[in-house]
Amino acid sequence: MTGDEKMSEYIEHDKNNISAGLVEKKYYTFADSPKQMVLESGSKLGPLTIAYETCGTLNPDKSNAILILHALSGDSHMAGYYSEDDARPGWWDIMIGPGKGIDTNKYFVICSNIIGSCMGSTGPSSVNPESGETYGSNFPVITIGDMVEAQKALTDHLGIKKILSVIGGSIGGMQVLEWCVRYPEMIVSAIPLATTLRHSALAIAFNEVARQAIMADPNWNSGNYDSGNKPDTGLAVARMIGHITYLSDESMRLKFGRKLQDKNNLSFDFSADFQVESYLRYQGSKFVERFDANSFLYITKAADYFDLIKQYGSGSVVKSFSRAQAKFLVVSFTSDWLYPSYQSREMVKAMKKNRLDVSFCEIEAEWGHDAFLLPNDRLSRLISGFLDGVCLERRR
C-alpha cells in the first residue's frame, strides 16, 4: 500500500469512528503600534494576527496544554473537521483526538499557523496597514525564533504559563527545539520528530533551487504580484522539488517504478510519460491552489537560517542544550534522507551530556521524511506512552 492510499484508507475509517469532531479557526491579534514585535533581523512587525485552533478542554490549573507545531506548508487545522460534510480532516488527525496518540480527552491541544505563512496568520500576502497594500517582498525576513515569539504571545493570551509538551516534525521540530532553549522554564516535555539542529548543505541546496524556480517565474515580479497573475508555474515546480525530498527511493520505487502513465509506449515528446512525472505535476498544481509563493520563500529561508548550534551553543552542540530543562522524546525515521537519523542521534548525545532525560527511537518506515504524517501505530503508542509518563511524573 502506498502512503497516499494509506492516508485515504485512514480518512474513510476515521469518518466512521472517533475524531476530534468539529473545530473552529480562531484569531488573536497583538503587537499594535507602537508596541510592534521586534524580529531577530532588527525589523519591526505589527500588528500581527495568529490563526489558531484548539481541541480538548483546558483543566482548571491549565497544566494539560500541548502545543503542536506544523511543518512548512501546514496550518492551524491539526485535527477534526470544519463542518459535517468536510471531506478531509486536519493534517494530523491521525494523531490527535479522543483515544489517539495525543488524547483530547486528556489534553488541551493548541496549534497556531506560523507567521510568514498564508493560512490565516500575518505573512507576505497580508495587507500592510501602513500602505494598505499586501506586503509582498516588503515583508521582513523572519526566523524560527520569530515564529516561536509569536506563539509565546498566543500562549500568554490563553493564560498558559507551563506547556506540558511541545510536539512537531520537520520545521515544526525546529520550533520545538527553539521553544526548549528559548523558554526552558515553560516546557515540561518535548517531542521533536524528523528534524535537525541546522540544515545541511544538501537541504539548503534543495530549498535554494525551489526558491529560484519561483523567482524565475516572470509573474513573481520581485515578489509584488497580484491575485490574477501569480507565479503559479514557479511555485508548482518548487513544490515538485520539495516533494521529492519528502519521499524516499524505496517509496518511489514501490509506488511508481518506471510505470507509464495511461499509455503503452513512450510518446517521444515532453508530456508526462511516467507515472512519477504525472504525480509530481499533480502535486505542484494542487499546491498552488492553497499556498502563496512568497510564503514559500520566507519559510524556507527561515528554515535555512535556523542554527541552534551557532545561536545557543557558540559552535558547540553540547552547549546548545545547556539551557534546556524538558524531558525529550526524539524520533527519526530510517528512510528520511532529508533529516537522516544521524542528525537526531547528534542532538540526543548532546542532550544526554547535559544530563537531560531523553529517549530516542528510530522508526522503520519506507515513506521517507513524510513518515511522521502518515498512520503509524508505533509512533502513536510512543507518543501516548511518553505523555502518560510525563503526567505520572508530575503527579508524584
Active site residues: 170, 336, 369
Which residues 6+ apart lie within 8 Å of 295 measured at CB?
A: 116, 117, 118, 123, 124, 125
Q: Which residue in 201, 185, 172 sits closest to 92, CA to CA? A: 172
Are 194 and 369 a contacting pair, CB within 8 Å?
yes
Cell 532553549 belongs to: 181
Cell 552542540 belongs to: 317
Neighbours of 342 (CB within 10 A): 9
Are 151 and 158 a contacting pair, CB within 8 Å?
no
Can you tell me the distance from the alpha carbon of 22 to that of 119, in angstroms, rounded to the nearest whole number?
18
Buried-state track 128-145, b at ≥16 Cβ within 10 A, e below 16: eeeeeebbbeebbebbbb
Query: In this structure, are strands 48-55 and 26-30 parallel, antiparallel, or unpaired?
Result: antiparallel
Q: Which residue in 110, 121, 102, 113 sits closest to 160, CA to CA? A: 110
Give the three cell numbers for residue 104.
483530547
- The single-letter DSSP state of residue 356 is -
Which residues 6+ apart lie within 8 Å of 159 measured at CB?
A: 62
First to last CA, the chain: 44
